[in-house]
Amino acid sequence: MSIAIISPGRDPKAWIAALQHHHPTLDLQIFPHIDRPEDVEMALLWQHTPGYLKNFPNLKLISSLGAGVDHILSDPAVGDELPIVRIVDQKLTWSMTNYVIMGVLNYHRQFLRYYHDQQAKVWDMTNPELPVKVGVMGVGALGGDVLDKLAGLGFDVIGFGFSEKKDFRYPYFQKDQLEEFLSQVNVLVCLLPLTPETVGVLNLSLFKKCTKGTYLINVARGKHLNETDLLIALNEGMLSGALLDVYQVEPLPLTHPFWEETRIQLTPHIASVTNPLAAAPQIIENYKRLKADLPFLNLVNRTVGY
Ligand code: GLV
């Protein structure tokens, strides 16, 4: 039985080293040099070409090389019967939470303002702290940790999600309560999974419901955000600024207006990059479970899409 690493968008070297470090005798085949496709029973995927999995007649398990599985589920050739697992990893969660905390604190303590003040040699002591109440959309492994750590720092936090959640540890709002949720916060963090229900959720109709001047942080997927609507919302004052890590098209095209928009701070999809050494053990564990016919770790629920 062999494991294929298929990550045309990511250098597989670190994954090979990490998997071999934890399991030296694994039979790995690395895209594009897969010459025994019939031996492949597990595929590790990052942005494979849709339809490519048809080459593997004996494929039994797919693992994402990241937290998201939208790049797998958007391929119509991935059969419904194939189990899909994803990475849930403390290091990945830690990095994501740190990024969001940095974004919230930067907004709260206005470091961009003071950076510009320094350039202009301006000494301005007025309003040094902006009031902050944070709403996190998506309260799974990542969103839940963001809520906990921000609450630990003393911020008021609430959560929002598309599925029902009983007895959640913070005030939790569902989709029919979106307006109420948005009216209570002025920093909005998107950590939703990308599913047919959440595509384009950050759009003008939502921005219109936001508290005036809300600050947006999108660290989920570019396809959650209608980028033209964001520019309109900034120009009309519905939003005051945004921190973005993900985009409709990546890398962000050089002609994209976001590059020039001073109210947007952007980073190149680095909020939380899976660490192969940290994630390899759970991939190997799932490979062992496949061989032993045991339930998988971090199995994706195909009905909800994450
Ligand atoms: C990164 O975007 C991931 O899904 O891990």
Q: Which of 22, 7, 81 is nearest to 287 (CA)?
A: 22
Residue type, 193: P
Annotation: CATH topology of 90-266: Rossmann fold (3.40.50)
Q: What is the pTM of this model?
A: 0.94
Predicted confidence band at 42 (pLDDT cuts at 50, 70, 90)? very high
Find the 5 Cα to ligand 1 centroid distance in Å: 16
Q: Is the CB of 185 under 6 A from ligand 1?
A: no
Over residues 63-98, the pLDDT tens digits come to 999 999 999 999 999 988 999 999 999 999 999 999
Q: Is the CB of 67 under 6 A from ligand 1?
A: yes
Mean pLDDT value of segment 300-304: 91
Which residue ranges make up each domain of the chain? 2-89+274-292, 90-266
- Please give the Cα distance from 270 to 72 (Å, whole number): 20
Phi, psi of 257 (to 5 degrees): -65, -20
Over residues 280-297, the pLDDT tens digits come to 999 999 999 999 999 999
Q: Is the CB of 68 under 6 A from ligand 1?
A: yes
Q: Is the CB of 246 under 6 A from ligand 1?
A: no
Domain 2-89+274-292 part of CATH 3.40.50.720? yes
Nearest CA to ligand 1 atom 5: 66
Q: Is the pLDDT of residue 37 over 80?
A: yes
Please name the residues in contact with 35: beta carbons below 8 A apart, sequence gap of 6 or more.
29
Over residues 113-127, the pLDDT tens digits come to 999 999 999 999 999
Q: What atom of ligand 1 comes closest to residue 272's alpha carbon?
A: 1
Nearest CA to ligand 1 atom 1: 66
Find the 93 Cα to ligand 1 centroid distance in Å: 11
Could you tell me how far CA 125 lies from the centroid of its own chain? Answer: 36
Write down how long the chain is.
Answer: 306
DSSP 82: S
Q: Is the pLDDT of residue 9 over 80?
A: no
| β-sheet with 264-266: strand ranges across | 172-173, 156-160, 133-137, 187-190, 214-218, 239-244, 264-266
pLDDT for the residue numbered 65:
96
Place of tokens 């697992």: 85
Q: What atom of ligand 1 comes closest to residue 68's alpha carbon?
A: 4
- Please give the Cα distance from 187 to 216 (Å, whole number): 6
Burial state string for 89-119 with b = 16 or more CB within 10 A and e = fewer than 16: beebbebbbebbbebbebbbebeeeeeeeee
Task: Decide if 261 contacts 234 (C-beta within 8 A).
Answer: yes
- Please give the Cα distance from 242 to 239 (Å, whole number): 8
Phi, psi of 233 (to 5 degrees): -60, -35
Q: Do 90-266 and 2-89+274-292 have the same topology in CATH?
A: yes
Over residues 228-238, the pLDDT tens digits come to 999 999 999 99
pLDDT for the residue numbered 79:
85
- Please give the Cα distance from 3 to 39 (Å, whole number): 8
pLDDT for the residue numbered 305:
85
Q: Is the CB of 276 under 6 A from ligand 1?
A: no
- For the beta carbon of residue 9, count every other beta carbon within 10 angstroms: 10
Give the H or E element holding residue 109: helix 90-109
Find the 250 Cα to ligand 1 centroid distance in Å: 13
Q: What is the mean pLDDT of the chain?
A: 97
Task: Decide if 220 contacts 190 (C-beta within 8 A).
Answer: yes
